[in-house]
Amino acid sequence: MAALAVPGVAAHAAPPSTNPAQSFGIAAAELAEQDNSFITQAAQVNLAEITIGKLALQKATTPQVRSLAQETLADHQNAQSKLEQLAGQKGVTLPSSPNAGQQNIGKQLESASGAMFDTTYLQAQISGHQEASTQTRAEIDSGRDADVQAYAKDFLPTVLKHLSHAQADAKALGIAPKGANTGSGGLVERAQSHAADLGLVAGGLAISVGAGVVLLRRRRQLG
């Protein structure tokens, strides 16, 4: 991850502020909501990945999951270290724990074991990094602080690398992403089933109508 650039100061300019937050672009009190929100979200992602990465190294049952855990743990520890530096420069207080949803995933992983652990872990990696990708792109597109945006631009390739790794591992192990049964495949299957049901109903109606016509003809002949 590239070091954060410090804006240069011309020789004839006034002495820089002694406030470290003000010497790096925008001060904390002036950060846009998008920038503040991203810093918080990125910290929570890092903390969550560090926590479940350590857990996966203890409980993973496949080399694929263990390899992903080693990768994500090292990368997010590095990302968190640089985020702490950035937050210090901006005067931003970082959260000390993941968000409620991430903590819930952690609890699920603590109670899971064997193949269920690997499945839950990989599904969490896919959904978590998809969300982190969306958050990071939003900062790149809409952030106002150049330093925070620089962190986001450096952070995104790491997030996408982890997402790709998790997706490949899940495919290799035959694990469907969480909620896959509500995806397009599930919709197609339900549509096909619905069409079959309609076909049965239509067939039943055709038979009923045909039987009614035959009965009416017989009545006319008898009459």
Tens-digit pLDDT profile for residues 92-108: 999 999 999 999 999 99
Is pLDDT of 184 > 50? Answer: no
What are the residue ranges spanned by the domains of the chain? 28-180, 183-222
**Rounded percentage of the chain residues whose pLDDT exceeds 90:** 65
Q: Which residue, chain included where needed, has tokens 């652990």?
A: 117
- Comparing 15-24, 79-88, 196-205, the range with the smallest average pLDDT is 15-24
Length reported for the chain: 223
Instruction: For residues 120 and 101, give the distance between their C-alpha atoms in angstroms, rounded to a whole number.
Output: 14
Domain 28-180 CATH class label: mainly alpha
Positive/negative CA dihedral, 60, 65, 67, 70 = negative
CA distances from 42 to 21, 86, 138, 204 (A): 19, 12, 12, 59
Residue written as token pair 């929100």? 37
Cβ-in-10-Å burial (0-12, 13-18, 19+) of 176 comes to middle
Among the residue ranges 25-29, 140-144, 183-187, the one predicted with the least confidence is 183-187
pLDDT category at 29 given cuts 50, 70, 90 is low
- How confident is residue 6, by pLDDT bands cut at 50, 70 and 90? very low
**CA dist., res. 164 & res. 27, Å (int):** 36
Span 64-87, average pLDDT: 98
Who contacts 82 (Cβ-Cβ below 8 Å, separation ≥6)? 1, 4, 151, 154
The pair of structure tokens assigned to 221 is 């002949």
Nearest CA to 121 among 63, 166, 80? 166
What's the distance, CA 140 to chain centroid? 17
**pLDDT for 4:** 37
Three-state secondary-structure class, residue 61:
coil
pLDDT band at residue 30 using 50, 70 and 90 as cut-offs:
confident
The pLDDT assigned to 74 comes to: 98
Q: Is a pLDDT exceeding 90 seen at residue 158?
A: yes
What is residue 167's predicted lDDT score, i.e. its pLDDT?
98
